[in-house]
């Protein structure tokens, strides 16, 4: 990220996650309950394991905020791990209880996890817990807390996000890229947070059967962002192009193995005139009757809705285990099962939104500059004023 910087620390079963978000202008008013609502969305969803019944994620702020407004200094957030109480002896940072630590030692790396690759890379093959504790998707709670803050910055300028599940395992609930209205059908309280709530009961039954077999599932999440002005990002340098930054942020989510912007996947099989969105004059400026580009052309926002999809692989910890090798003995061994999700896709829409909010808030501040919100507001007025003959927020398709 160019203007913002996000750093988080903390292990899955450590006392807490700590998040430092640097680069926010001074004077941004934050709503604590809205951050907690985002954290609750990450804990919601059918198919998660027992951990979510233990945790009750809430944000605590210890720096960068006074009287509900940012100070311009790093914003320091914490999310407590309630499960830590059950792991204090195993995770103790100083006087590790050898018996407790040995009892929870992991020596058979789980295929699909960072266990083997991370253990080899950092020389921690004796106990892969040293790797998996941090590689765990518990870390996404830190991203969601920071993303919820960034979404509040975007909201100030009328930029809004929507997301939902498009598919679970082999069951597709929507074919092709999603759109704003489709994502408006998502009920955030439904078991699968999908674009087709009417089919969720059937899919919950399907997940139950998969769980009984000790198996796991993945799926597809879609998201849309409305109100982005044209011109964010860059067409100049590869590492500043916003399409690349968006896809990097999405693929960095644990389990995400592919991401697409707009009709990116389907477009490769079509002819040019069926793909490229016409530019036509309209009452509110330039209009795009279609949005197959998904809001980005040449690495720069074009004023249309940003449309993305992220593909999640099945969860890597299987109750029935997977073939592995015990690194302590060199002998073949089936992996152990430790409390784990069957499918986490219903928790993922808010993580996708968080990653988009981070990247887009960064790109917005990069374009507008400003050390305090008054300056950012003035820059927004100047920027959108210059664009007014061509684009107004309500003209986004």
Ligand X SMILES: Cc1cc2nc3c(=O)[nH]c(=O)nc-3n(C[C@H](O)[C@H](O)[C@H](O)COP(=O)(O)O)c2cc1C
d(CA 140, CA 231): 29
**Could you tell me where the DSSP H helices lie in the chain?**
32-43, 51-54, 88-91, 98-103, 115-122, 129-135, 140-156, 180-183, 200-212, 242-251, 264-267, 348-368, 373-387
Q: Give yes or no for a contact between 187 and 193, defined as CB atoms under 8 angstroms apart.
A: yes
Single out the residue of 34, 135, 204, 387 in contact with ligand X (rule: CB under 6 A).
Answer: 135
Residue 321 found at the interface with ligand X (CB under 6 A): no
Q: How far is the CB of 328 from ligand X (least distance, A)?
A: 21
Q: Which residues contact 328 (CB under 8 A, 6 or more apart)?
A: 107, 126
Residue 116 or 396 having the CB closest to ligand X:
116
Single out the residue of 81, 317, 324, 335 in contact with ligand X (rule: CB under 6 A).
Answer: 317
Single out the residue of 61, 137, 267, 364 in contact with ligand X (rule: CB under 6 A).
Answer: 137
Residue 39 found at the interface with ligand X (CB under 6 A): no
Residue 253 found at the interface with ligand X (CB under 6 A): yes
Residue 130 found at the interface with ligand X (CB under 6 A): no
Q: Which stretch binds ligand X (CB under 6 A): 248-256, 327-335, 370-378, 389-397?
A: 248-256
Residue 81 found at the interface with ligand X (CB under 6 A): no
Residue 316 found at the interface with ligand X (CB under 6 A): yes
Q: Give Dmax over CA atoms of the chain in angstroms.
A: 73
Q: Give yes or no for a contact between 77 and 60, defined as CB atoms under 8 angstroms apart.
A: yes
Single out the residue of 57, 340, 346, 354 in contact with ligand X (rule: CB under 6 A).
Answer: 340
Q: Give yes or no for a contact between 346 and 46, defined as CB atoms under 8 angstroms apart.
A: yes
Residue 267 or 348 having the CB closest to ligand X:
348
Number of residues that bind ligand X (CB under 6 A): 21
Q: Which stretch binds ligand X (CB under 6 A): 71-79, 158-166, 252-260, 293-301?
A: 252-260
Write the DSSP assignment of 269-333 as a string of letters: TS-GGGTSPP-EEETTEEE-S--TTTTEETTEE-SSPEEEEEEEPPPS--TT--EEE-TTT--EE
Residue 13 or 113 having the CB closest to ligand X:
113
Single out the residue of 200, 304, 347, 350 in contact with ligand X (rule: CB under 6 A).
Answer: 347
Q: Which residues pair with 158 in a beta bridge?
A: none
Residue 49 found at the interface with ligand X (CB under 6 A): yes
Residue 344 found at the interface with ligand X (CB under 6 A): yes
d(CA 230, CA 15): 43
Q: Which stretch binds ligand X (CB under 6 A): 76-84, 111-119, 147-155, 172-180?
A: 111-119
Q: Which residues pair with 224 in a beta bridge?
A: 162, 307
Residue 143 found at the interface with ligand X (CB under 6 A): no
Residue 341 found at the interface with ligand X (CB under 6 A): yes
Q: What are the distances in angstroms from CA 72 to CA 67, 187, 374?
A: 13, 36, 13
d(CA 313, CA 309): 13
Residue 225 or 348 having the CB closest to ligand X:
348
Q: How far is the CB of 206 from ligand X (least distance, A)?
A: 19
Structure tokens belonging to residue 191 = 């078991």
Single out the residue of 107, 140, 152, 335 in contact with ligand X (rule: CB under 6 A).
Answer: 140
Binding-site ranges for ligand X (CB under 6 A): 49, 112-114, 135-137, 140, 253-255, 313, 315-317, 340-341, 344, 347-348, 351
């Amino acid at each position: 990220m160019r203007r913002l910087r996000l750093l988080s620390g903390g292990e899955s079963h450590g006392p807490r996650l700590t998040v430092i978000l640097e680069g926010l202008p001074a004077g941004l008013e934050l709503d604590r309950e809205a951050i907690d609502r985002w954290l609750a969305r990450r804990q919601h969803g059918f198919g998660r394991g027992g951990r979510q019944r233990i945790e009750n994620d809430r944000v605590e702020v210890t720096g960068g905020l006074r009287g509900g407004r940012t100070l311009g200094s790093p914003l320091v957030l914490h999310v407590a791990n309630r499960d830590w109480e059950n792991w204090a002896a195993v995770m103790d940072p100083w006087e590790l209880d050898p018996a407790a630590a040995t009892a929870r030692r992991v020596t058979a790396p789980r295929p699909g996890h960072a266990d083997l690759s991370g253990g080899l890379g950092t020389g921690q093959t004796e106990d892969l817990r040293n790797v998996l504790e941090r590689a765990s998707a518990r870390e996404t709670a830190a991203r969601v807390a920071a993303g919820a803050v960034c979404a509040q910055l975007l909201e100030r300028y009328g930029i809004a996000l929507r997301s939902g599940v498009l598919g679970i395992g082999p069951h597709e609930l929507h074919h092709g890229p999603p759109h704003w209205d489709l994502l408006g059908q998502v009920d955030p309280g439904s078991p699968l947070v999908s674009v087709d709530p009417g089919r969720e009961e059937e899919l919950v039954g399907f997940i139950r059967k998969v769980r009984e077999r000790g198996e796991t599932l993945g799926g597809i999440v879609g998201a849309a962002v409305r109100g982005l002005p044209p011109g964010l990002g860059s067409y100049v340098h590869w590492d500043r192009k916003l399409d690349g930054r968006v896809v990097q942020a999405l693929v960095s989510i644990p389990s995400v193995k592919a991401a697409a912007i707009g009709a990116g996947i389907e477009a490769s099989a079509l002819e040019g005139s069926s793909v490229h969105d016409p530019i036509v004059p309209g009452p509110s400026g330039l209009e795009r009757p279609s949005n197959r580009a998904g809001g980005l052309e040449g690495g720069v926002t074009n004023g249309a809705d940003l449309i993305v999809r992220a593909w999640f692989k099945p969860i890597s910890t299987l109750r029935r285990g997977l073939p592995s090798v015990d690194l302590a003995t060199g002998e073949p061994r089936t992996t152990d099962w430790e409390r784990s999700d069957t499918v986490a896709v219903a928790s993922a829409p808010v993580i996708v939104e968080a990653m988009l909010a981070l990247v887009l808030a960064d790109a917005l501040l990069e374009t507008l500059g400003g050390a305090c919100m008054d300056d950012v507001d003035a820059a927004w007025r100047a920027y959108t004023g210059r664009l007014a003959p061509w684009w107004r927020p309500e003209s986004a398709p």
